[in-house]
Amino acid sequence: MIPTTRRGFLKTTGAAVAGAGGMAFLSSLPRVSADDAELDPKLVRLNSDIAPLVRTLEDTPREKLLETIAERIRKGLSYRELLAALLLAGVRNIQPRPNVGFKFHAVLVINSAHLASLNSPDAERWLPIFWALDHFKDSQSATIKESGWRMSPVDESKVPTAHLAQKAFIDAMENWGEAAADAAVAGLARSAASHQAFELLARYGARDFRDIGHKAIYVANSFRTLQCIGWQYAEPVLRSLTYALMKNEGKNPAKNDLAPDRPWRRNETAIKDVRSDWLAGKIDDGAARELLATLRGGSDEDATRLAIQMLNRGIAPQSIWDATMNSAAELLMRQSGIVSLHSMTMSNALRYAYDSVVDERLRLQLLLQNVAVVPLFRGAAAGRGKLSDANIDTLDEVPIQSEDAPIAEIFQDVSRDRLQAARKTLAYLKVHPQPKELIDAARVTTFMKGTDAHDYKFSSAVFEDYGHLSPAWRDRYLAASMFYLRGSGAKDNELVKRTRAALNA
C-alpha cells in the first residue's frame, strides 16, 4: 500500500510531514568495545551484537532518546536493528502483568508500528518507530515507579534439554506451572524452529478470554516482529510472552471450571463433529448474514453451534470470518471504545494465527474461538454502557459533496460525525473500489494525530483485515473503522515535530 507518487499522497491527506527525504535503511551498527557489550549479571543476557543498542534505549533519558537515535541512523543504524533493540528493550524492562495491556502496550504495539512503517512512503517510514521509542520510555518509567521489575536470567539448572523441551513446555502450560513454563520455553527457543514454537504458543494464546484478547494479540505481534528481526532474539521474547500467557485470576485454571476457559474447552470436543473436508466449502454471503445475526444477539454457544452447522453444510470458513470480523466492526459502531476495538484486534490476531499454523484441527479451533469471543466482547461492552442498534449490513451510503477532495471530506467528518463519515466511506468505495488512497490518508492521519498505542494497533489491524474479507463485506468493514480512526480535526501530535527535527538535524 505504498503510494506511487508523493504528490498523490499529499493530495489525499491534505497534510505533509517534512521527513527524512528518502532515507535509506542501512545494515550495520557502529563498532562497540567488549566493555560496551558487558551486561548486568542480574539481567537476562542478550546477544552481544544487539546488547549495546538495547542499553542505549534503556539508559538514554526520554527527552534525549529520539535525537540520540536519529544521530545513530545518520551513522548507519538500520531499521531492522532498531526494531530488534526496541522489542528486546521492551520485554526486558516492561512487566506484562498484572495486566497484559496498559503500560505493556509499548511492547504490544511494536509490530503494529512496524506494519505502519512498511506501508508508508520512505520519508515517513521512521515516524511510527520513533513514536514507539517514545512510548517505550514512558512505559519503562511507569514500570520503574510501580515495581522496578526487570526480566531476570532464566534458571539454567531447570532448562530442559533439546529433546525434552517441547514436552516440558506443553506439560507446564497445561498445568499452568509458571516457573516450569519459563524454563521450558527457554529450552524451546534454543532448540525448536520458529514455526514449531508458534504452533504451540498460538494454541495457548487463544485458549482463554482474559485481558480482552491481549494474549492472542501478543502471540501474533511478537512472532511477526521476530520474523523481521531474526529468531536469534527469540528467547527473551518467548519468556516474556509465556509469562503473559500464564495470567489468571489466582485460581489454577487446570483445576477449576472458570468462565474465560470454557469456550476453548467446549470447542475442543465440538471440533470432533466437524466434517473432515471443512476447508473445501463454498463462500455463501447469505450464511454469513445468518451468522452475523446470531453474533449480534445470541450467546457464544449459539454462535459456535451455528458455525459448526455451517461448516457441515459445506459453507467455507471464509464466510465465517466475514461474519465474525464484521460483527466485531459492528460492535465498534454500537459502542466506540476500548472493548469494541479489541474485538477487532483480537480477531486480527486469531486470523493471523489461523493462516499461519499447519495443524488443521488447531486452525479449526482458532476459527471457532473467534466465533465464540465476539459475543463475549459484546457482553463486556454492554457492561460499560448502552449499545446502539446500528447494523453494519444495513448501513447505507450518503453522497460526498466535494468532487475534488472526497477523502478530505470523509476525514473532516470523522472528527464531527462518525456515522456520516462511515456512510460517505461506503459511497467513496463504490466509486473507487481500490481504497489505497483512502488508507494512505488514514495512515498519515494516524501519524500526525495519533497519541495512543491503540491508534496504531487498530489501524494496522483494520487495513490488513480489509484484504482478508470477501468483496461483499470488506467495504462495510472499512467504513465501520471510521468510528475509531483519527479525523483531520484532531490536534497534531507534537512528537511528529520533534521526530522531524531530529531526523533533519
The 10s digit of each residue's pLDDT in 232-283 is 999 999 999 999 999 999 999 999 999 999 999 999 999 999 999 999 999 9
Cell readout for 274 is 466437524
- How far, in Å, CA of 101 to CA of 379, rounded? 20
CB 326, CB 476: distance < 8 Å: yes
Q: Which domain holds residue 461?
A: 396-494
Nearest residue to 283 via CA among 329, 247, 322:
322
The residues facing 282 across adjacent strands are 315
Grid coordinates standing for 344?
477487532
Identity at 209, one-letter amino acid code: F
Report the distance separating Cα 136 and Cα 227, nearest Å: 21
* Residuewise pLDDT in 10s, the chain (505 residues): 333 343 443 343 333 333 333 323 223 223 323 333 233 445 566 767 899 999 999 999 999 999 999 999 999 999 999 999 999 999 999 999 988 888 999 999 999 999 999 887 676 788 999 999 999 999 999 999 999 999 999 999 999 999 999 999 999 999 999 999 999 999 999 999 999 999 999 999 999 999 999 999 999 999 999 999 999 999 999 999 999 999 999 999 999 999 999 999 999 999 999 999 999 999 999 999 999 999 999 999 999 999 999 999 999 999 999 999 999 999 999 999 999 999 999 999 999 999 999 999 999 999 999 999 999 999 999 999 999 999 999 999 999 999 999 999 999 999 999 999 999 999 999 999 999 999 999 999 999 999 999 999 999 999 999 999 999 999 999 999 999 999 999 999 889 889 988 988 7
What single letter denotes the amino acid at residue 23?
A: M
Please report the pLDDT score of residue 45 as a whole number: 61
Both 35 and 100 in one domain: the answer is: yes
Task: Indicate if 228 and 296 belong to the same structural domain.
Answer: no
Residue 78 counted as domain residue: yes
Residues 101 and 244 in one domain: yes
φ and ψ at residue 282, rounded to 5 degrees = -110, 145
Q: Let me know whether 103 and 182 are in one domain.
A: yes
Cell of 294: 446470531
Measured distance CA(125)–CA(362) in Å, rounded: 36
Give a yes or no: residue 12 inside a domain.
no
Residues 90 and 227 in one domain: yes
In the chain, how many domains are there? 3
Q: How far is CA 60 from CA 56, 140, 141, 200, 240, in A?
A: 6, 11, 12, 36, 23
Structure letter (DSSP) for residue 93: H
Nearest to 120 by CA among 3, 221, 229: 3
Peptide bond into 263 cis (omega under 30): no
Pick the last residue of a domain from 347, 382, 417: 382
User: Burial, 364: exposed, middle or buried (Cβ in 10 Å; 0-12, 13-18, 19+)?
Assistant: buried
